[in-house]
């Protein structure tokens, strides 16, 4: 087969395998996104045949009088910040522990990863039972007042309950990423630091941690996106309550579009949130990428 025929065959093979993926992504993502942009300029209840064009009225409503969207955005920002900090700090600490040589290391890695492969909705229902029934039993057994607190009924405690469940569920995923990063750190670099007189703590903070830059960037970015799109756990655990204290933006968009049947306003909220997420993720990604140390 000549070189030109081989290149032509490779081109058609590439085209054959990529077209189905492109069509699927276009149908499932790009077309709905464009339609959402159109519906954000209309007033439509999802039932009427024709949507009424209202221009930028939905956006003016959000910025001028939509307190629900602002409060849900503030909750999402607080949740995402706490999720990033706790999930990465705890995961890194556990990853360092699990890279030590002891008999149950592999078993413990599997135990920590199990919650991640469970459905978020199932996790929410499990923890809802724990917060209501499980903590009540612990209160009766120990007499400690902390178990008798209304974790899902108090607006302030409900935030920490949702954050706890979110971190617990996703911890195994970040542990795996950090373990992979720790195992990729060159042993000779650590040995050189030890020869130079560095203690274990100094070697970790001055050698290992800087070399974990790519892993840290990946975990920060993944935890950022997972925190910003939190939905399932809140829907199963609190349904946005008590009141509207645990409404995330995604849950607010869902309520506006599918419960209030206001698809125009819900689409406008989704467009605004898309821009917020796009800008925020790009800033965070560039910030951490610029501080990575190359091997």
Question: What domains, with CATH codes, occur in the chain?
Answer: 66-289 (1.10.3720.10)
Residue 176 — very low, low, confident or very high, per pLDDT cuts 50/70/90?
Answer: very high
When mean pLDDT is compared across 61-75, 228-242, 271-285, the lowest value belongs to 61-75
Contact 60, 140 (CB under 8 A): no
The backbone torsions φ and ψ at residue 43, rounded to the nearest 5 degrees and listed phi first, read -115, 115
Task: Tell me the C-alpha distance between 182 and 95, whole Å.
Answer: 8
pLDDT at 252: 92
pLDDT at 293: 58
Residue 66 — very low, low, confident or very high, per pLDDT cuts 50/70/90?
Answer: low
Q: What is the 3-state secondary structure (H, E, C) of 130-171?
A: HHHHHHHHHHHHHCCHHHHCCCCCCHHHHHHHHHHHHHHHHH
The pTM score is 0.90
pLDDT at 270: 94
Q: What is the mean pLDDT of residues 76-86?
A: 96
The backbone torsions φ and ψ at residue 52, rounded to the nearest 5 degrees and listed phi first, read -90, 120
Using left for φ > 0, alpha for ψ between -120 and 50, and beta otherwise, residue 243 falls in left
pLDDT at 221: 92
C-alpha closest to that of 207 among 295, 290, 98: 295
**The pLDDT of residue 294 is above 60:** no
Residue 103: strand pairing partners: none
pLDDT at 150: 87
**The pLDDT of residue 170 is above 50:** yes
Residue 192 — very low, low, confident or very high, per pLDDT cuts 50/70/90?
Answer: confident
Better pLDDT: 277 or 48: 277
Lookup: tokens for 292 = 């990575």
Residue 295 — very low, low, confident or very high, per pLDDT cuts 50/70/90?
Answer: very low
**The pLDDT of residue 137 is above 70:** yes
Residue 174 — very low, low, confident or very high, per pLDDT cuts 50/70/90?
Answer: very high
Tell me if the bond preceding 242 is cis, omega within 30° of 0: yes
pLDDT at 84: 96
pLDDT at 108: 87
Most confident of 76-90, 117-131, 207-221: 76-90
Count of alpha carbons within 13 angstroms of residue 250, beta-carbon side: 16
Better pLDDT: 45 or 76: 76
pLDDT at 1: 53
pLDDT at 230: 93
Task: Tell me the C-alpha distance between 261 and 5, whole Å.
Answer: 56
pLDDT at 143: 80
**The pLDDT of residue 104 is above 90:** no
Residue 132 — very low, low, confident or very high, per pLDDT cuts 50/70/90?
Answer: confident
**The pLDDT of residue 76 is above 70:** yes
Torsion from C-alpha of 280, 91, 164, 221, nearest 10 degrees: 10
């Amino acid at each position: 087969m000549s070189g030109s025929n081989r290149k032509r065959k490779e081109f058609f093979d590439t085209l054959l395998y990529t077209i189905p993926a492109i069509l699927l992504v276009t149908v499932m993502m790009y077309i709905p996104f464009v339609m959402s942009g159109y519906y954000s300029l209309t007033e439509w209840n999802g039932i009427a045949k024709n949507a009424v064009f209202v221009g930028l009225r939905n956006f003016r409503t959000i910025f001028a009088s939509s307190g629900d969207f602002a409060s849900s955005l503030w909750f999402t920002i607080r949740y995402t910040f706490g999720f990033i900090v706790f999930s990465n700090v705890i995961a890194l600490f556990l990853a360092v522990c699990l890279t030590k040589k002891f008999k149950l290391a592999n078993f413990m890695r599997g135990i920590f990863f199990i919650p991640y492969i469970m459905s978020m909705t199932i996790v929410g229902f499990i923890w809802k039972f724990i917060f209501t029934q499980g903590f009540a039993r612990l209160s009766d057994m120990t007499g400690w007042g902390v178990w008798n607190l209304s974790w899902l009924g108090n607006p302030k405690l409900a935030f920490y309950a949702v954050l706890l469940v979110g971190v617990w569920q996703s911890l195994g995923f970040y542990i795996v990423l950090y373990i992979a990063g720790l195992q990729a750190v060159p042993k000779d670099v650590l040995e050189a630091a030890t020869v130079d007189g560095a203690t274990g703590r100094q070697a970790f903070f001055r050698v290992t941690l800087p070399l974990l830059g790519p892993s840290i960037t990946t975990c920060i970015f993944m935890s950022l996106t997972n925190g910003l799109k939190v939905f399932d756990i809140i829907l199963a655990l609190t349904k946005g309550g008590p009141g509207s204290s645990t409404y995330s933006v995604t849950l607010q968009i869902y309520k506006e579009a599918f419960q209030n049947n206001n698809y125009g306003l819900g689409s406008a909220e989704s467009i605004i949130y898309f821009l917020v997420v796009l800008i925020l993720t790009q800033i965070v990604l560039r910030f951490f990428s610029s501080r990575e140390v190359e091997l």
